[in-house]
Structure 1
């Protein structure tokens, strides 16, 4: 199954390997540069079915650090378009971008909050910092929340113009959308807080507004944390319920990660430790899902798909170590996979 095509709207992925979005902390003023061109282009040469550009801020305060990527202006989008065009011209990979806002987890470096002078005032649904030592974030007004929805919409418009095949919304890892979802970080009393329906409203308004910028040639994914590993917090049952709603809102796939919103949460980490969350959401919500989290072997990835636990395999650290995991896996499994014609002399015959 790893080398079986799959379709989302009119976007066909040639295989089930996905390069998971991973921050590179290498931008100036939010703009991609030659490092990103080589970094993402090399994974396309390795046969990866889908490459997802790292968390990209929809406004300057949406970045995690001063060196994170952005798409809040046209110049940034033009830099990204160069990468998109290379991938489309020199491989059969598709390419997506993760639109993100860090919220209270922004203005940091090396996992520590930096000063307002070096960074910026963070924002959140409620006056609760991620860590007790951090500044209390600015609490968003209702009008400011709606303004952020517009930021996501405008970022999606730029991404579509740049030629991206897939837009992913980052609703995981304790960033702004996740902060709204969780009753532990969202204690609002307006229409964006309180009940489950109110806490998911911000995400649903973003999904609706972004979908207005998309067509059949651009698919929509949402990344969520299946659980945040905290009592009375966002949990797998909440994720299943959300996934059912997202399906009705024309979301094509739920990318299932976990954690990130509660400082000090205890997480038992092992190979494929997040796969059960993907499986439960896929089977109980009847939606396509992506599995991620310490997936390092071809056989492991194939087993996840064969067992019906996911539809796509998102690979993070392993694809940093080995940009060619997809094509090398095809050699092992005697399957067809894109291989650069310039490298034909190195191809292992099946």
Structure 2
């Protein structure tokens, strides 16, 4: 009988040992599974984080090159020739293989791959990055605009006389050959000077009447004008009967400054005159045929404005259409300012849903 009890106890102990072993085996499997899952999640999170920084680095690299000197850097020249001008768009399969960050293939692989798509319209650059790292994908969008730093306009001493074109009744403006440069501007910086200045003076040499015709004579290593300035000197009158060859999306911006005593006459037209007007206190703006004309902006200094001149402002007195160049809509003239380089500021980053 004692032997039977001993045998039963031994059998029972073996069963419990087996049960405990099974329990620990399941616990081990569960713990291992949890550890593996956490490890995979950690790897995934690290890869996702790497993809995020890869996307952001790719976007920042493009903006940095956009602010670079195209005379020195091939990628900066590529951006100006294609994104800002040309097709106004770019597609780059892997930004890190294109901007010369490194020639090391293994290092590029560790950084990850970042595809960039970019577009430019109405003074705003939109860049979309799709980055891949460790099997994870991150999408991000960056928006950038030209720096509108205080609204200082180039001085009128930089201006050519406004002249009639070979076609009677037309005044050609915006030719690249009309640009002037300060002696302090380096040759390599002239690539980014993107404005021209004109004056309306007394005498037969200066045009006073006609339709403004925007010239598009872009040549190699010259970029289209983003801004055109016309200064009408005191006691002079400029009469405009329309504007042609102007694009809503790409401009250029047209600014007119009326010195005290100057007059601007506009003929009515169905479309808006795409100009921003600033003036001295005794300047005048007239609509010739008694109907209405609309411009982008008239500053608050004008005291003699034809009641038929219209312009659209927001509730905060800002023009509905902001200039796409790096100049403000209201004049602040610096007599010593000849030329300024266009710079681009990042407006915002946005993460896209994957």
Superposition TM-score, scaled by structure 2 size: 0.32
More strand by share: 2
Superposition TM-score, scaled by structure 1 size: 0.32
Asked which structure has the greater CA Rg, the reply is 2
